[in-house]
Amino acid sequence: MFIAAMKAQLLQTEANSKRIKIRIAYQAVEWRIKIKKIEGIWYHKPQKLWSVPNTKENLKQLKLIFGNQHEVVASDSKKIQPKFEMTPEIAAKVQAMHSKLILSGKSASTVKAYRSHTLRFFKHFEKQDIAQLTKDEIEQYMYMLKNRYKISDAYQNVVINAIKFYMEQVMGLPREKYNLTRPKKSSTLPDVLSESDCYELINALDNIKHKSILHLIYSAGLRRGEITNLRITDIRSDEMMIFIKGAKGKKDRTTVLSESTLSVLREYVRRDKPSYWLFEGQDGSKYSASSIAKLFRKASKKAKVAEWATPHTLRHSFATHLLQANVNLRFIQSCLGHSSPETTQIYTHVANINNNVVRSPLDRYMDKMVKKEK
């Protein structure tokens, strides 16, 4: 039974929006069971809401499920930053930035992000001399982004890095002048799945290519981008290892090759016969990271586990499960490709707090009570 005052919320969306967002109380178990039957349903953990494809049929179905216990509320989603045409002056600044980024050996994703952020920065201060901007003026700009567009802490840090790169590396201004305020570093723990949930998820799909991808992510702790960049020759079955070339930070590394994963991969290669990239798209090019996200979502739904999980959750689970098996932290760091052991140590906080290691005082007391009764 639902509390009378409890209402589902349908967040207002534009007519051309692809998804309808739904927010329901945690206690609304019956509603949750019903909406989970809608095709294309997905749970967005950070926003703590659900969404379904924006169709007339789905909207009608939602209204039938909630009846008169729903309300339409204004969407609290962040505003999208506007696009604009570059002036010749801004284009020259962006090109100077681009050249310096390439010469500095930055990755393609970093080049793209820095160009985008400085482009908006130049547009905002279009009528001012960038070299004469004060720290306060730049931080007012950052405040505007946080307040108006609800940018995340991670986004804010990248914007600051882009601005500082231009000021210091392109314009040659001193670092001290632009020592900008950064958000406090969060100490959130990674989400992980149980070993049984991981097993169910990676074996949920019948498509052998998709199954191979999921097996590799979990069994070797790989990132999506590392999966898409794998070549056939990177699977070193003689040495039972996987070679990862040019991973994050432009670093090569090796990681473990699972025997069971190797068996799945051999079946996949016999059937699909990839020519160069281990996983190819329809035109023979590299498989896309977005396709991996889609197949993961399909597997998660079919396995009925981890509605909140992402492909990266399997990587977190890989590290945590190795720690729980008492594998040396240095080995795990090497497999994950972390530069610093401090980055890997975060998994110790996840692995250590469980009933196998730390027994709750309440459980210990209850054990004593049971013994007395006997």
Catalytic annotation on 347? yes
Which of 59, 11, 6, 51 shows the shortest CA–CA distance to 29? 6
Burial of 233 per CB tally in 10 Å (0-12, 13-18, 19+):
exposed
| Domain 88-178 is found in CATH 1.10.150.130 | yes
* Domain span(s) for CATH 1.10.443.10 in the chain: 195-312
Catalytic annotation on 312? yes
As a whole number of angstroms, the distance between CA 341 and CA 209 comes to 33
Which of 291, 362, 350 shows the shortest CA–CA distance to 317? 350
The yes-or-no verdict on residue 366 having pLDDT over 70 is yes
* Domain span(s) for CATH 1.10.150.130 in the chain: 88-178
Residue tagged active-site, from 7, 223, 316, 321: 223
Helices (H), the chain: 29-35, 56-66, 88-103, 108-124, 135-149, 153-165, 195-202, 208-220, 224-228, 259-272, 289-303, 311-324, 329-336, 341-352, 361-373
Global pTM exceeds 0.75: no
Residue tagged active-site, from 34, 248, 298, 301: 248
The confidence score (pLDDT) of residue 4 equals: 40
The confidence score (pLDDT) of residue 1 equals: 38
Catalytic annotation on 349? no
Catalytic annotation on 78? no
As beta bridge partners, residue 236 has 241
- In percent, how much of the chain has pLDDT > 70? 90
Residue tagged active-site, from 7, 215, 224, 315: 315
Catalytic annotation on 248? yes
- Which helix H or strand E contains 44, and what residues bound it? strand 42-44
pLDDT tens digits, one per residue of 273-292: 999 999 999 888 899 998 99
pLDDT tens digits, one per residue of 336-360: 999 888 889 888 877 765 545 555 5
Q: Which two tokens stand for residue 315?
A: 């990587």
Arithmetic mean of pLDDT over the chain? 87
Residue range 106-132: mean pLDDT, rounded: 92
As a whole number of angstroms, the distance between CA 205 and CA 219 comes to 16
201 with 300: CB under 8 angstroms? yes
pLDDT tens digits, one per residue of 239-252: 999 999 988 878 89
Top CATH class, 195-312: mainly alpha
As beta bridge partners, residue 11 has 21, 73
As a whole number of angstroms, the distance between CA 125 and CA 140 comes to 12
pLDDT tens digits, one per residue of 23-53: 898 888 889 899 988 988 888 876 778 888 8
DSSP 125-165: TTTS-GGG--HHHHHHHHHHHHHHH---HHHHHHHHHHHHH
Q: Which two tokens stand for residue 152?
A: 């995340």
